[in-house]
Amino acid sequence: MSRHVITSEQNTETNAPTGGPVEPPKEVRLKRKLNELELEWHDGLTARLSCLILRRSCGCSHCTQHKRSGRLSLVDADIGIEKVELSGVSGLQFFFSDGHYRGLYPWAFLRELSEQVS
């Protein structure tokens, strides 16, 4: 099985939407065959986020401009993540199979998505 696992220590992000710190997940697993990212949080919450949800949730300036202008964004339903990188202590950067790699996904945002799908 082809997967990557990222584990984290006790780093926190201080500019979470609620104002409080958001601890990074205990583990991050990229499950390429399933086109999903599994996040295991310290409080026991485990969430599986599809690559499609992550790609559609991109907050980079290019994607945000498309959403604000009402332009149609076509994203392949079978989109995958080729690579995941830690972005300092603040979150993750994904390299999608459609070539998109601009968005940074802060821990607080990934936590929100995790709670929405659970």
What tens digit of pLDDT does each residue of 32-58 get? 999 999 999 999 999 999 999 999 999
| 9 to 25, 26, 41, 93: CA distances (angstroms) | 9, 7, 12, 18
Above 80 in pLDDT, residue 17?
no
Contacts of 64 (CB under 8 A, 6+ apart): none
Above 60 in pLDDT, residue 98?
yes
> What is the residue-averaged pLDDT of the chain?
85
**Boundaries of domain holding 15:** 3-117
Domain count for the chain, please give it: 1
What is the domain-level CATH number for residue 22? 3.30.2020.30
